Each structure stands twice: as structure tokens, then as C-alpha cells.
Amino acid sequence: MENTALQKISFLVLRIMGSLIFITAGFNHLLQTAGAVARLEKAPFAHLTTWLAPAETLIILSGVGLLVGGAMLLAGFKTRPAAALLLGILIPITLTVQIGAEGFGPLFKNIALIGMLLFFLVNGAVHYGLDQTLLHNKQLKPAFKNKITSKYVAVLAFGLLMFLGSCASGTTVAQNTTAPEAVATQTGKKYAVLISQPNHLKAAVNTAQTITKESRYQRESFVVMACSKSVEAFVKGSDLAPEFEKGKAAGITYRVCGLSLRQFNIDASTLVEGVEVIPNGLTYLFDLQQQGYTTVEL
């Protein structure tokens, strides 16, 4: 059955919009590696993949794969191998990070993306893809080749414009996002340190003591975000209580991840005074990055 022009365009739109998700995710893996690594390490089933290689290596490799596969899917070039590559990355991510996480939205989003990739794995680019061009290129007259090439350049340009537009809108949202830490004046930089082990607190405190308002860094705000096992350092009676007090004296703002407290069965009422429990430490760190904080993971 011959598809109508509108149906052909709908296949193209599906391919373009679906590919942008993977391209954006690839950039996030490569540009915000620390946050992605922390999410993977905290995932309930992380051991299913981290036995292959360190978490950071897996995140970087998956970022490259998402970018390459997403670009190939966008262009409709080697569409079936591109879909297979993206499935090989998306399925392990779904099994390790999304299953067992709070809420079902991200899980079923990934399931929908898997369904879309299966469609392209079976059917290829369908219409308006470079695969079709290469297949019929030898049968075309030279006069038509330039027309076809121009058509697919336009498709790629349209996809790139949509991607850049999504990035621009995300930047606008980030600029309008406010939080208590965003009130800091613009005369100094803002720093946030993500710690995952109790002994990391010493390094964070030492850094805060070194980066002062009088130093060349001109620090205005310094946040310590405690995730994973590091939350144990903030329990009353901890051996690291002196370090905690040194940090308060140095102007550190302490935040503790609520997910990590539940993971290690720690009651929030047993924490020392002067810390604030944040529902999800990683998303909070992402918020700080959007507000201009320089973030570091120990």
C-alpha cells in the first residue's frame, strides 16, 4: 500500500524528534559526566553494568554512542544499525537506572523509546532518509542528484534547528529558576561539591577554607551536597563532627540527600543541626549548575 505524502512526513517527524532525545542525552553524558556517574552508582541494579568497566568509562562511551546513533537516526543513514546501537545503550540504562527508581514516568518514557527504535530497526528510515537516497542513487540522473542532496541537507538543517531551539528554551527556563542560593551577589563565584564517602567531608572543608573571599577565587557561596554513604558523616556523634563544625565556620552550606538517607536507613531526626535534607541530591546539584555554580564531585 502506497503511503500518502502526509504519512511519509509523519515518519520523518517521528525520526527527527526521536533522534533529538538521544543526541541531547549524549551531550548530557559527555558534558555532565559527574552527575550521570553518580546516578549510575546509586542505581539499584548498577552492578549489572559496572562489572564491565568503571562507571565513568561507561557513561562516556554511552554518551559517544548516543550522539553517533542519534545523528545517524536523524539523517536516516544506516538506520537499522543506528537503531540497534541505541537499543544496546538504552536497554541497559533502563534496567540499571530506571527500574527501581522513584516514579514510573522515566521508566515508561524509555519503554516508549524502545518501541520507537524497534520500529526503525524493522522498517529502516521508511521515507526521506539517506538510506533511500543511496539505494536509488545509481538509477538517478545527475540532474536529480543535486535535488535529492539538497532535500536531505534541508532535513538535517531542520533537525539541527529543532535541537538548538530546545537547548535555547532549556536555557531560558534555567535562567528563570530561583532558589535560596541564587540570591548570592554576582561579585564572587559559587561552588558546590558532591561527596559520596564520609572521609570526603575533610577534603570539602579544606577546600572551602582555602577558597575564601580574600583569595583569588572570590567565593560567594559554597555548598556541600552529601549523597550515598557520605550521609553517615552527618549523624549526631559522628567522628567527623569536628570537620562539620570547621565547615560551618568556613561558611559551608550543607545539604543531605533524602534518597541516600533511606538507602542507609538513617532517620533525618538523627542528623546534626545545620543540615537540610533535599529529596534528591543529584537533581538539586543539576539545579545549582543551572544557576551558575561550579560543581565538583569527589
Whether 184 and 49 share a structural domain: no
Query: Are 25 and 71 spatial neighbours (Cβ–Cβ below 8 Å)?
Result: no
The percent of residues above 90 in pLDDT, for the chain, comes to 11
Whether 253 and 163 share a structural domain: no
**What domain count does the chain have?**
2
Mean pLDDT computed over 88-94: 88
Whether 158 and 26 share a structural domain: yes
Confidence of residue 143 (pLDDT cuts 50, 70, 90): very low
Whichever domain contains 236, its CATH number is 3.40.1260.10
Whether 157 and 197 share a structural domain: no
Mean pLDDT computed over 235-242: 85
Among the candidates 129, 155, 176, a domain finishes at: 176
CA distance 225 to 279: 12
Whether 168 and 32 share a structural domain: yes
Whether 109 and 244 share a structural domain: no
Residue 141: pLDDT over 60: no
pLDDT tens column, 208-219:
878 765 555 556
Whether 203 and 277 share a structural domain: yes
pLDDT tens column, 146-181:
554 555 555 555 555 555 454 444 433 333 333 444
Determine the structural domain holding residue 201 and report its residue range: 180-297
Please give the backbone phi and psi of residue 280, each rounded to the nearest 5 degrees, phi first.
-135, 110
Q: What pLDDT, on the 0 to 100 scale, is given for residue 178? A: 37
Whether 50 and 155 share a structural domain: yes
